[in-house]
Amino acid sequence: MRLKDKVAIVTGGAHGMGEAEARLFAREGARVVVADILASAAETVAADIRAGGGQAIAAAVDVTSEAAWRTLIDQTLSTHGRLDILVNNAGISGSSVGDPDGLDGWDRIIAVNQTSVFLGTKLAAEQMAKTGGGSIVNISSIMGFVGGASGHPAYCASKGAVRIYTKAAAVRYGPRGVRVNSVHPGYMPPMLNATNAGERADKIALTPLRRLGEPLEVANGVLFLASDEASFITGAELVIDGGFIAQ
């Protein structure tokens, strides 16, 4: 098992890519904390993991709150005694706010997608450093590289910030044994679940592999970066996009 006995927090773990990551981590031997603002959905995922023989607990968390982050890490430590892996997966798109071009929409997208990564990375890295190190994986996006028309400016800004912040954090925390990397998914569910058939076809046409991705394909990349197989990789960008940014 690639994560045997490691303790991992996955934010946004109740659905989509986060759920795929949490389930895969558990299959690979990790003790998983499924963290999400949707507490009931998180518990459903954790209970299903346990029913399948894995180890998981659910935790309610508002990733924009420093106090909530401290509570989440304290809960993890009180249950498992350590923290080895953090996946900063929680995020929202421009369609998740009423007016993504207004200040309130901008602030909300930045808080969920960008500030949460700062809070989680800082607090997790401080804890990991006390026990010999760990791995942090920050989920950015292909829109962290390009200002695509399909991504609202605030979304692109937030994901671009995650990309560069990850590099700065890797430099800061590397001497303390903490690796920090970013993953950049392309077009895939659940972000495209609400789009119509024409919009989905447009996204497929923009992707050289001519299909949408799957959450498990992202989870496999996150698993690699979280594992000891990536022990000399930090500050790196793993793009999982079917070739989108290669064009």
Please report, for the domain that includes residue 23, its CATH number.
Answer: 3.40.50.720
Rg, C-alpha atoms of the chain: 17
DSSP 15: S
In a domain, 247, yes or no: no
> Which entry of 155, 165, 173, 187 is annotated as an active-site residue?
155
pLDDT at 200: 84
DSSP-assigned beta bridge partners for residue 86: 9, 136
Question: pLDDT at residue 53 above 90?
Answer: yes
Beta strand pairing status for 85-88 and 55-60?
unpaired
pLDDT digits (tens, 9 = 90+) for 124-141: 999 999 999 999 999 999
**Count of domains forming the chain:** 1
State whether the Cα torsion 60-65-67-70 is positive or negative: positive
Q: Report the pLDDT averaged over residues 15-35.
A: 98
In a domain, 222, yes or no: yes
pLDDT at 44: 98
pLDDT at 98: 66
In a domain, 63, yes or no: yes
Residue 31 belongs to domain spanning: 7-241
In a domain, 118, yes or no: yes
Mean model confidence pLDDT for the chain: 94
Rounded to whole angstroms, how far apart are CA atoms 18 and 143?
18
| Residue 155 appears among annotated catalytic residues | yes
In a domain, 2, yes or no: no
Contact yes or no for 22/10 (Cβ under 8 A): yes
In a domain, 79, yes or no: yes
pLDDT digits (tens, 9 = 90+) for 207-237: 999 999 999 999 999 999 999 999 999 999 9
